[in-house]
Each structure stands twice: as structure tokens, then as C-alpha cells.
Amino acid sequence: GRFRISVNYIQQGDNMAMTHFQVDGQKVRLDSDPQMPLLYALRDDLKLNNPKFGCGLAQCGACTVHLDGQAIRSCVVPVSAVKGKKVTTLAGLGTPEKPHPIQVAFVEEQVPQCGHCINGWVMTSAAFLKQNPKATDAQIRDALQGLKCRCGTHVSILRAIKRAQTQMA
């Protein structure tokens, strides 16, 4: 059988199943092990590079995508959990012609340094602000708890989120 070896997951060709779902508005069919993490399907099988592999333990947020509008950590969600659902990646959040307000704010505030963590911050804050448009600073900080930025751009990130919040209101 076919093997895929990653940090904490080995896929063998014996236990394959067809899973239908949407990614960024496109219908996809994936023949894979149903327990394979969604992140691996997005990056390896569908060749999408926005969700990043960070920790593989849902602790850093680099792999965050939206599942039916909710921010999830795709490194620990099995492909079987997205059957018939809508997955949105950073590329599907907005377009170059019409970016999401949070994407605009991150550019205007010049947030990214290395950029590895940006996917998690943008996707988490976009989902949070959609549900909580009038969130306080403390609520925003609570919602972003657990996301990691090794470059230390946290102040710029919060400024960008507040900027987007005013544009989304």
C-alpha cells in the first residue's frame, strides 16, 4: 500500500474512504484514510499552502481553517469530520480584488514578519469578529489565547484586529 509519514501520523492504503466536502467554495472528493488530519489533506492532497504545520497538537494555531464558519485547528481534525461540510482557508476568506477586512488590516499594520503564524491569527480573528462584532479588547485577547507568534508581533496583531473590527462594524 501507499504510505505517508508525518510527524505523528502514518497513513496506510488499507483503510481508505471517499470523503466529499467543499474547500473555498469548490467541491472536492478525497480518497484517503478517514482518520488522516484535515491539514494533511489540504496541504498534501489538495496542494493548499495557507494552513501551516506548526505543532501538530492544536496548540499554536498555524493550521487554523474555518469549518462551516467556525475556526478549527486542522492538524487534529480528521478528514471524516468534514464530510459534507464547508472548509474555508485563508485563500478563500477574501480575494486579491476583494480581501476580507482582517486581511486588509494585517497588511496596513504591516503585521507579518516571518509570516508562518499569520494564517492562525487571521482565520481565528475573522471567525471571532463575525460572531462578536462588538468584542472588547479583553474578549479579543481571550479569543486569541493559545495562538503563537515567535516574532513577537502581538501588538501589531491586536492593532490590526481592532482596525478590522471598526471596518466590519
> pLDDT of 14-50, one tens digit each?
688 999 999 999 999 999 999 999 999 999 999 999 9
Q: Give the pLDDT confidence score for residue 6 in this predicted structure.
A: 43
pLDDT on residue 12: 55
The pLDDT, as a whole number, for residue 85 is 98
pLDDT attached to residue 40 = 97
- Write down the pTM of the prediction: 0.89
Angstrom CA distances, 74 to 38, 42, 88, 119, stand at 5, 9, 11, 12
Rounded Cα gap, residues 167 and 62, in angstroms: 25
DSSP secondary structure letter of residue 42: I
Residue at 105: amino acid letter: A
Cα gap 31→33, rounded to integer Å: 7
**pLDDT less than 70: residues of the chain:** 1-14
pLDDT at 138: 97
Helix H or strand E segment including 106: helix 101-108
Instruction: Provide the pLDDT for residue 7.
Output: 42
pLDDT of residue 53: 95
